[in-house]
Amino acid sequence: MDYYTLGNTGLKVSRLALGTMTFGDDWGWGADEASARQLFDTYVEAGGNVVDTADLYTNGNSERMLGRFIRDSKTRDRIIITTKFSYNADPGNPNAGGNGRKNILRAVEGSLERLGTDYIDVYMLHTWDQVTPAAEVMRTLDDLVRSGKVRHVALSDSPAWYVAQAQTLSQERHWEPISTVQLEYSLAERNIEFEYTALAKNLGTSLMVWSPLASGLLSGKYKPSGEGTGRLAMLANSGNPAFDKFTEKNWAIVTELEQVANELNRSMAQVALNWVVNRPAVASVIIGATKLHQLQDNLGALDFEIPAELQQRLDDVSRPDARFPYTFFEPSLQGMLNGGATVGDKPKSYGQPVLVAGSGAGVAAD
């Protein structure tokens, strides 16, 4: 398996991460401990080194299982643990959730205990709480890094302006910067392309993808003729927009994906994963499974390339509709700013040293 550095850090992460929200059957659709251990062992044997969890996944049992698996396999130095805080497990106590300093310091101790470790590799804000200032979050996370309880910090499911503010404050005040931003991204959910790809490129971070198969919609188990059975069908009307996937546009994506997969002689899941793992700024993509054959199939997603023609077909059918103000950034209107002249980004070679024949010295390409 190939490894990328996570954002502007020296931490080397596998391109596929293992999601453990399915570790434990507390929610009615996960894997029991024996099955979860098999998934973990298979992933590690394949070269994977990033395991993603959260304090409230399966009521804390995801962290507990993961801690046992790592301890029993003696892989702590190899495994990168990503876990998250934000959600409240103590109804009526407003400070037992959210992103304030009090809760972060409470939550990290609980995760360390359940995981059975003395440090967390990547500690992540799970969801923006609309209340806590970015400075309070980032200063608290920096304190945890300085204490040795956390190695790197990250944000998930937060507005682009908030992530940008947090990263800028961290850079200017010499706090630990954001290593990655974890967001939903797939052929069926591409809205992060309007802001976050450019954010990652310009502010020295990266993207970590969750739900690359759109909660199973792109795995092949759901068809327009019959919605199928599984977690997505079970939770489609739960009120969580992450599971609201049965739409006319998404069925068109599923149909095109199936045709492309057949032409490549690959599974739909492998093609969908290959598409998202090769998008700009993506450092790692989280795959989740409840059955071994699902994980084994997912692990084959990096073994091929999607030809340009087929890639274009997937891009076209899944392209999100531009809304204000992004409509002003389309080529037709941007041309009005430049007087009709073509003005693009600099080529990759811009500013790189090039060899001048006979000189033996490098000069800047300009």
Catalytic residue among 57, 185, 196, 222: 57
The CA distance from 99 to 261, in Å, is 42
Catalytic-residue membership of 57: yes
Type of residue numbered 188: A
Angle between helices 134-147 and 160-173 (to 10 degrees): 50
Write out the catalytic residue numbers: 57
